Structure 1
Amino acid sequence: MEFLDPRGVPTREMESYDLTTDLVDGDTIALFANGFPDSVAFLEHVESSLSRELPGVRFLHLNKGNASALASPEHLSTIADSCSAVVAAYGH
């Protein structure tokens, strides 16, 4: 019997992710679910964790409802007009 390690071997050098934003009390983070099962539940857990780290920040829950559709102009407008940051999540 042979066992295979499913992790694979990285072929690219690790790159840091430098995009950040400074959030202050009263800022809003959009939590944007893509419509796959559990994407909303996952973002509820994300909110729980983020709210402990960012106690003055508010959260706006949005859901595309259809994982194969693009974000609607209404969703994008809402995010652009009222949010300082957005977390987009995929379910499984």
Structure 2
Amino acid sequence: MIKFVDPRGVVATPEQSYELSRDVRLNEGEGITVALLANGFPDSELFTKKVGLALEKRLPKVKTLFWNKHNAGVAANDEMLDEIFPACDVAVAAYGH
């Protein structure tokens, strides 16, 4: 007899809802600047730039800016974050590989 096991674990923490601070879809992204942050894994730069192109196609008035932290094993440094925070409204970070 075959026994099927559900690989999903039990959620131990309650979900926390939140309100989006910006709706990038309004007015086709007008007035919104999106930070694109590649994590440093191979091809993360290419993948993140393609995400930016897809955003720009879907939201023709959105502006995208790109950063690459070059090392997936460390957090983005303060210098990079100091560039991103004042220049961008939202961020998309590559995660995993």
TM-score by length of 2: 0.70
Runs of at least 5 residues in structure 1 that lack an aligned partner in the other structure: none
Give, in angstroms, the shift of residue 17 of structure 1: 6.9
Runs of at least 5 residues in structure 2 that lack an aligned partner in the other structure: none
Deviation sequence 1:11-45 (CA, Å, 0-9, x none): 99988775351234242100001111121111122
Give, in angstroms, the shift of residue 61 of structure 1: 0.6
May I ask how many residue pairs the two structures share in their alignment? Answer: 92
The answer as to whether partners of 1:33 and 1:62 remain within 8 angstroms in 2 is: yes
Q: Structure 1 pair 80/12, CA: closer, same or farther in 2 (3 Å)?
A: closer
The answer as to whether partners of 1:37 and 1:91 remain within 8 angstroms in 2 is: no
1:1-92 aligned at under 5 Å gives the runs 18-19=19-20, 21-23=22-24, 24-92=29-97
Give, in angstroms, the shift of residue 55 of structure 1: 0.7
1:31 aligned counterpart, secondary structure: strand
Q: Structure 1 pair 39/17, CA: closer, same or farther in 2 (3 Å)?
A: farther
CA distance in 1: counterparts of 2:23 and 2:8, whole angstroms: 34
- Which structure carries more relative contact order (alpha carbon 8 Å, separation 6+)? 1
The answer as to whether partners of 1:28 and 1:84 remain within 8 angstroms in 2 is: yes
Runs of 4 or more above 6 Å deviation: 3-17
**CA-atom RMSD in angstroms:** 2.5
- Percent of matched pairs sharing the same residue: 48
